[in-house]
Amino acid sequence: MTLAETPNYKNSSNPFLSLNYESALESLGDDYYDEVGAEEFPQHLLRWRNDALLPRLGLDPQVVKDEDFIIAFGKFQGRKPLLALRYHGYQFGEYNRQLGDGRGFLYGQVRATDGELYDFGTKGTGRTPYSRGGDGMLTLKGGVREVLAAEALHHLGVRTSRCLSMIETGLPLWRGDEPSPTRSSVMIRMSSSHIRFGTFERLHYFQRPDLTKKLLDHVIEQYYQHLSSEEDKYVLFYAELVKRVAELVAQWMAAGFCHAVLNTDNMSITGESFDYGPYAFIPTYNPSFIAAYFDYYGRYCYGNQPSICHLNLQMLQEPLKAIIDKGEMEAALERFDEYYEAEYSSLMLKKLGFEDLPYPETVGLLNLTIEFLKESQVGYHQFFYEMARTFSSKWRDEPGFVMNSSDIVPVPGASIIFDNWCILYHKILNDFDCNRTNVIAQTLAVHNPKTVLLRPVIESIWEAIAQEDNWQPFYELIQAIQSSK
């Protein structure tokens, strides 16, 4: 990857500017957005290009140049209109109408090779009508963190937006009480949709059921096409959104991920995870773990994520009730826990090496696993990685052999919970044919990578960048994440 300032460049040869952009959202009219411009930056250093996404856009990574990224996604030449979306939202339980795209915009919408419509959204491109006195910029560290989060979650099986590019802009930013300015960046996020729960909440606030219906029809037409011809498409849409969100939060919980700011303006109408600010992966199993320093009362702590997402879906019923019967929405929402438990159990079983187990064994094994992780406070991710690393066919011989070569678990007799866990795991192994041992080992390896984005890992990556402008650890970490090592 060449990380250099781009000289003069001929726009017509840029593959990003030659994509077939669609005006799906733009066609709704300016009740939903404002046209804006992009900041002009003093410098453009391409720090990250996600070549893994290019084939989905029909582009060959070997043909796309660094300069193409910079012209399209750093200098923002050749694309209009750029749309800052309007939305409101409940932030820490309080309704806030002073929201909207305050440091980014919708760059464009593209139909990918899978037939789905994707949005290119910017972050760090300067002031908009919704910046609320802010500068509309993104720190370089914030860009680095989001690139890492999106790639890590994607490779952990979480439905997430991803970063297409990140460019350092050379603009010094002053943040908080820092004695000197920090570096800045601009990022392109590729997501399934730019529309949020808060987009509908804003329309409800202004008492515009006509605009709500128009937007809902658009959402179903573009993102729930299989429902578009159904007579009861509106309630079916809400029911499917409930399922998508329940499964998404189950994916976070199994991955040990704490989003940190689950305001309704950070909830996608397609049930996709996006906008990673002060997120964190839990070091140990602690339902009270708080990722954001400003979450003083732990509203968005790790263990609260399912109930908060349920609440956000419940609050979405207010704007949607102008179109959808509220009783039918409430009935659909009652299935949230069912969807959540099914997805969470399935994902946790895979982390334990199994694709499927009978219900009693599933409940027993998961309960004992969580009880042990909570009691021992061994590393959450380390425990599952050690299972993968030390797994052996000898575990079938007797319970005492289960994880006996790992030094992170207690010796026999030191923990009744762990001893019972070993007994049950040994029993389950022997319920399978011995030929399944290799399959269990592979399942453990696939779902429990060694590389985890714990805070010290991220800080060490940033320290190399901040102090030495050394990006090699950053690229090596991404390579390890993408190869699931």
- The burial class, CB within 10 Å (0-12 / 13-18 / 19+), for 257 is buried
Provide CB contacts within 8 A for 177, sequence distance 6+.
Answer: none
pLDDT value of position 203:
98
pLDDT value of position 97:
95
Average confidence (pLDDT) over 418-440: 95
- How distant, in Å, are the alpha carbons of 152, 217, 267, 302, 460 from that of 454? 11, 41, 24, 14, 10
Distance CA 43, CA 475 (A): 21
The pair phi, psi for residue 441, each rounded to 5°, is -60, -40
pLDDT in tens, 118-169: 999 999 999 999 998 889 999 999 999 999 999 999 999 999 999 999 999 9
Query: pTM (2 decimals)?
Result: 0.95
Reply yes or no on whether the pLDDT at 464 is more than 80.
yes
8-state DSSP, 160: B
Which is the catalytic residue, given 68, 265, 275, 295?
265
Band the pLDDT of 12: cuts 50, 70, 90: low
pLDDT value of position 77:
92
pLDDT in tens, 161-193: 999 999 999 999 988 767 779 999 999 999 999
DSSP string over 395-446: GGT-GGGTTTT-TTSPPTTS-HHHHHHHHHHHHHHHHS-GGGHHHHHHHHHH
Q: What percent of the chain has pLDDT over 70?
A: 97
Active site residue 265: yes
- Rounded to 5°, angle at Cα 25 from 75 and 84: 45
Mean pLDDT, the chain, rounded, equals: 95
pLDDT in tens, 34-79: 999 999 999 999 999 999 999 999 999 999 999 999 999 999 998 9
Beta bridge partners of 162: 190
Contact criterion met (CB below 8 Å) for 89 and 197: yes
Band the pLDDT of 4: cuts 50, 70, 90: very low
Band the pLDDT of 485: cuts 50, 70, 90: low
| Cα of 459 vs its chain's centroid, Å | 20
Band the pLDDT of 10: cuts 50, 70, 90: very low
pLDDT in tens, 348-380: 999 999 999 999 999 999 999 999 999 999 999
The residue among 109, 108, 139 whose CA lies nearest residue 124 is: 139
Secondary structure element (H or E) that encloses residue 210, with its range = helix 209-223
Contact criterion met (CB below 8 Å) for 377 and 465: no
pLDDT value of position 177:
65
pLDDT in tens, 206-260: 999 999 999 999 999 999 999 999 999 999 999 999 999 999 999 999 999 999 9
pLDDT value of position 449:
95
pLDDT value of position 120:
98
Distance CA 288, CA 298 (A): 7
